Amino acid sequence: MKNSILLALSVFTFSCAANQDVEPKSVTLIYDQSKLTAEIQADNHFEAHVDNEKERIDLSGTMKKLHPDYQLDVSVIKASKIKHATNQINTSLVIKQRDLEKPVLIGGVYDHTVVTDENDNVEVTESASIMSVKLSQ
105-116 residue pLDDT tens: 999 877 777 888
Global pTM reads 0.74
Domains of the chain: which residue ranges? Answer: 22-103
Residue 4: pLDDT above 60? Answer: no
Taking a C-beta distance cutoff of 8 angstroms, is the pair 49, 29 a contact?
no
The per-residue pLDDT for 21 is 58
Q: Which residues contact 53 (CB under 8 A, 6 or more apart)?
A: 81
The per-residue pLDDT for 98 is 92
